[in-house]
Amino acid sequence: MNTAMTTAIQVTGLEKSYKDLKVLRGVDFDVARGSIFALLGSNGAGKTTAVRILSTLLTADAGSARVNGYDITTQADDVRQSISLTGQFAAVDEVLTGRENLVLVAKLRHLKNPQKIADDLLERFSLTEAGGRKAATYSGGMRRRLDIAMSLIGDPPVIFLDEPTTGLDPQARIEVWDAVEELAASGTTVLLTTQYLDEAEQLADRIGILHEGRIIVNGTLAELKRLLPPAQVEYVEKQPTLEEIFFAVVGGNDNTGAVGDRSDR
């Protein structure tokens, strides 16, 4: 089968430096169509830089990548037509209602029936009852769900979610997880960056661990678990957690559930 038909994102040898700071040192990974790929790493590992390059907001110093079959350098306009990017903070207009936010984006994209598009997305993300309220009254999880709904207007085949649950409480995070799983179930390809181990473990079909500018591990959760031998506890086999795998491959230890404490690049 044609690789372009089965692979939504292909990344080969991406490099990026900011003056003397090498952020990406040759990053390689592929993302299958309709799957969720989690790029997991500490703050400062280069996750956001990788996403900005793939979404054509930054230019790589070296390497190549294709998104939805298009080269990010020579076919940047086609890439931008194929993707949606949701950053770390919800980009909703708090003065407008949830429905008005969606209608506005649909009109800006010159789509037909913006009201119907808005109503369909409100229903899809369980926001119908809140659709007439100003977004300023929404909880963190509701704002993020609205943000993701806005990013889906126009049906982009690939969506980048850059640390979508940063700053959210546990209930709001679960709401966003449900929304992300719904995206993949509908056939959308999702590249998710996160520093939360449980988030990658919960959502991802494949996980790439980005450390010191390189992907040092890439595989399914089952494949990553095989990197560490199971512990024997009272004659019951205990499978390693993703947290144990992460710190085994990158070194160090952290009990917070998130990794790192420096600002990501």
Report pLDDT digits (tens) over 117-130.
999 999 988 899 99
Phi first, then psi: what are they for 226, rounded to 5°? Answer: -75, -10
Share of the chain above pLDDT 70, in %: 89
99 CB-near residues (< 8 Å, 6+ apart): 115, 118, 119, 122, 131, 132
Nearest alpha-carbon partner for 249 in 198, 190, 207, 206: 207
pLDDT at 256 over 50: no
> To the nearest whole number, what is the mean pLDDT of the chain?
89
Q: What's the fold here for domain 3-84+187-250?
A: Rossmann fold (3.40.50)
pLDDT score at 265: 57
**Least confident residue range of 221-225, 247-251, 257-261:** 257-261
Each residue's pLDDT tens digit, 211-232:
999 999 999 999 998 887 776 5
pLDDT score at 263: 47
Between 255 and 51, whose confidence is greater? 51
